[in-house]
Amino acid sequence: MKREELYLGIDLGGVSVRAAVVDAAGHVLGQEKHRLLSKEPPQVAEAVLRAAKTACGAAGMPFSEMKGMGLGVAGMIDREQGLVRSAPTLGWRDVPFIKLLQARTPRTPLWIASELSVSAWGERAVGGGRGVDDLIVVLVGSNIGAGIVMAGKLYEGASGSAGDLGHVQVMPNGRLCSCGQRGCLEAYAGGQNLAAWARDDLRIAMAAARAAGERHPAVGRKLIDLVGEPEKVSVAAMEKAAHEGDDLSRRLLEEAGRLLGMALANLVTMLNPARLLLGGGVLLGSPRMTRAAIAGVDAHATKSSRAAVQISAPELGEQAGVVGAALLARESLSVAA
């Protein structure tokens, strides 16, 4: 009997690299995750290979028998050139990462795509978007981005930056975003920014309380009781406080959800997907914000586009990256053959 063809999937983030041996059905046969000790591209290339070989060991398969290796990198990718155009968490700009990796493993076919693209591909192949040709996966964490599959193909745009949903404008002259613009969605609904927004409002409420000689702020009291000091505010704490009736947390989670929902509505109206998967740490931790976002889609997308789209959650969790990367490599090789 012919042995099954196996591929390696790599998920490269800013702090760690995850590698997995994946079969055609998207099952992980062995995996490895380790922290990056250096962000220098040559060292990262070594770390990727080490993780890949350890994952092969865990799967009981020699590295030399892998048919190919797919990489998903958190950043903007030029797939044709094998170039990481920008990966802020790694501090990279225009890094020819595939070349660096290929020099270390000349006989392994390699592919690279953005983390969002490989996640969307994985969900489409074996996750929450199985068999759906027009699929959008939106992940809301510290950053906000969308992986887009249109007509059964990944859509990444002319320069690889399609799906940069965190930087669509939702508020003229609004809060400052890490990209330098004002009023980006991410400046409100990105996890760290949402917590910072709550801290700002909490400090104002506490100063007002002090000025009025009150012991407790008029709003945000449950939140401050829960975390102790404004510096410790997180989206998870906000969700908990909101559940206990905290007005400040409720207002901000709902406002962030509303802005996200408006951006999603525009995406749905514009691209007419059959399925929209909403995930990422922030939404996972805040059912309240998720509900507000879906209500925003209901309110603002066109009737026909809203009727066509089913909204649910991704199913692959933190395995989406490695599974999607391996399956994308598999698909690319079979198309090329």
Closest by CA position to 118, among listed 271, 324, 326, 296 = 324
- SS3 state of residue 76: strand
- Identify which of residues 184 and 326 has a Cβ nearer to Zn ion in the complex: 184
Closest by CA position to 319, among listed 14, 6, 29, 5 = 29
End-to-end CA distance of the chain: 22
Site for Zn ion (CB under 5 A): how many residues?
5
CB within 8 Å of 230: residues ≥ 6 apart: 199, 202, 203, 206, 224
Q: Report if residue 189 touches Zn ion, rule: CB under 5 A.
A: no
Six-digit token string for 129: 């978007």
CB within 8 Å of 57: residues ≥ 6 apart: 30
- Identify which of residues 140 and 227 has a Cβ nearer to Zn ion in the complex: 140
Q: Could you tell me the smallest distance in angstroms from the CB atom of residue 276 to Zn ion?
A: 22
Q: Could you tell me the smallest distance in angstroms from the CB atom of residue 177 to Zn ion?
A: 3
Give, as ranges, the residues between 268 and 297 that touch Zn ion (CB under 5 A): none
Q: Could you tell me the smallest distance in angstroms from the CB atom of residue 139 to Zn ion?
A: 16
Q: Could you tell me the smallest distance in angstroms from the CB atom of residue 116 to Zn ion?
A: 16
Exposure string of 76-89, with b = 16+ CB inside 10 Å and e = fewer, is bbbbeebbbbbbeb
Give, as ranges, the residues between 146 and 185 that touch Zn ion (CB under 5 A): 167, 177, 179, 181, 184
Q: Could you tell me the smallest distance in angstroms from the CB atom of residue 163 to Zn ion?
A: 14
- Identify which of residues 139 and 177 has a Cβ nearer to Zn ion in the complex: 177
- Identify which of residues 83 and 177 has a Cβ nearer to Zn ion in the complex: 177
- Identify which of residues 142 and 305 has a Cβ nearer to Zn ion in the complex: 142
- Identify which of residues 170 and 224 has a Cβ nearer to Zn ion in the complex: 170
- SS3 state of residue 276: strand
Q: Could you tell me the smallest distance in angstroms from the CB atom of residue 186 to Zn ion?
A: 5
CA distances from 280 to 140, 141, 283 (A): 5, 5, 6
Q: State the residues that interact with Zn ion by CB under 5 A.
A: 167, 177, 179, 181, 184
